[in-house]
Amino acid sequence: MLKRIDLTRDVQAHEAEYRAAIEAVCRETAFSGGRFADQFDEEFARYCGVAAASGVNNGTSALHLAMLACDIGPGDEVIVPANTYIATAWGVSYSGATPVFADCTADTWEIDPASVEARITPRTRAIIGVHLYGQPFDVASCRDIADRHGLHLVEDCAQAHGAAFEGQRTGSLCELGCFSFYPGKNLYAFGEGGAVTSNDTAAIDRINVWKNQGCRTRYYHEVIGYNYRLEGIQGAVLSVGLKHLDEWTARRRTIGRRYLSEITNPLFRMQAHPENTDPVFHLFEVQVPDPEDFLQYMAAHEVECNRHYPVPCHLQAAYRSLGYQPGDCPNAEQLAAHCATLPLFPEMTDEEAALVIALCNDYRR
């Protein structure tokens, strides 16, 4: 069975490096925060091309802290795409504000600036764009809207480490960038991890205090804080991964571009990748008429596929009280109803990619 993603190949290929990194942390028992976590912050800020980064315990916490850094709270509204992983909205809800769901475009499947603009109210304080599937959203149009309405603009980069919009890397495109290092993300920890990036060093400084129980000096708590620190072992593992991220990305791009050009079955619809963007193919999503049938067909041929995401955020049970109805975000609903995810990870072989392509082209023909 070819898996949708197989992390064991990377873990085995770089076992000695990972082991040495973990052992160095153990020798110093720098387990929570500490030298290895701090070192990763520096390396990751440099990679993203920003002034500072703050490693945290996961991407959801990164989004929560970004909302706090924008002074968002109860009574405020924050516009987020309806088609994203639900955690984009959790950060808004944790702050006490209300997520307002915008539709995506029919071709890029990224947040639609026109839908964003239509959902602005006097309570709107911020927009969170998501570089979904590793494809940068239309940052220029969203920035224009944010500037005209005096809104904060935050980017959810959890699926887009190293992607670029108009030549500039994600994490440096908005006021604050939020990353996840969940296993399976383009850069991943051996457990949980996340980061906030920014050129606003004062915002990162506030985040560093919040994530560390509200203190700069131990046992002196300036504000009500959180335990959102990055673990030392994760920092050390992420520093190893960061060294390989560009090769991993190159490999993802090779496979992604092959799928785009070689899957020619007219039953498949694919995401548009505008020329001013450099996507990193975190997930290769297609739209097919009957995704469950397609998943079964692929599984019968020993290829695992799955779906991202079968229910759009505005129709999730958790947000039922917000009163959204089917039809409120038609493009996101269409995507949810038809999406299927093909296997794609850096260690996939050319033969495996060719198998996926051949099966897709043979599907129901």
The Cα-based distances of 165 to 62, 162, 168, 173, 280 in angstroms read: 21, 10, 5, 8, 11
Name the token pair of 133. Answer: 């599937």
Q: Could you tell me how many residues make up the chain?
A: 365
Stretch that binds ligand PLP, among 84-92, 142-150, 213-221, 236-244 (CB under 6 A): 84-92
Separation between Cα atoms, residue 65 and residue 56, nearest integer Å: 9
182 counts as binding ligand PLP under rule CB under 6 A? yes
Helical packing angle, 59-69 and 201-211, nearest 10°: 120
Of 26 and 318, which CB lies nearer to ligand PLP in the complex structure? 318
- Lay out the site mask for ligand PLP across 298-317 (x = CB under 6 A, - = otherwise): --------------------
58 counts as binding ligand PLP under rule CB under 6 A? yes
186 counts as binding ligand PLP under rule CB under 6 A? no
Separation between Cα atoms, residue 197 and residue 236, nearest integer Å: 18
Of 2 and 92, which CB lies nearer to ligand PLP in the complex structure? 92
Q: 353: closest CA among 340, 365, 339, 342?
A: 342
The correct pick among 84, 115, 208, 306 for binding ligand PLP (CB under 6 A) is 84
Question: Considering only residues 327-356, where is the footprint of ligand PLP by CB under 6 A?
Answer: none
Q: 157: closest CA among 141, 145, 139, 140?
A: 139
CB 358 → ligand PLP: shortest distance, Å? 29
Stretch that binds ligand PLP, among 20-28, 82-90, 253-261, 284-292 (CB under 6 A): 82-90
By beta carbon distance, the residue nearest ligand PLP is 59
Count of residues binding ligand PLP (CB under 6 A)?
15
Q: Is the peptide bond before 188 cis (omega within 30 degrees of 0)?
A: no
Q: 68: closest CA among 110, 48, 34, 97?
A: 97
59 counts as binding ligand PLP under rule CB under 6 A? yes
CB 63 → ligand PLP: shortest distance, Å? 6
The correct pick among 2, 21, 53, 87 for binding ligand PLP (CB under 6 A) is 87
Query: What are phi and psi for residue 73, nearest 5 degrees?
Result: -160, -165
CB 159 → ligand PLP: shortest distance, Å? 5
Q: 289: closest CA among 221, 340, 253, 358?
A: 340
Query: What are phi and psi for residue 341, nearest 5 degrees?
Result: -110, 125
162 counts as binding ligand PLP under rule CB under 6 A? no
Name the token pair of 352. Answer: 């495996």
54 counts as binding ligand PLP under rule CB under 6 A? no
Question: Considering only residues 103-142, where is the footprint of ligand PLP by CB under 6 A?
Answer: 130
The correct pick among 113, 134, 171, 194 for binding ligand PLP (CB under 6 A) is 194
Residues that bind ligand PLP (CB under 6 A): 58-60, 84-85, 87-88, 130, 156, 158-159, 180, 182, 192, 194
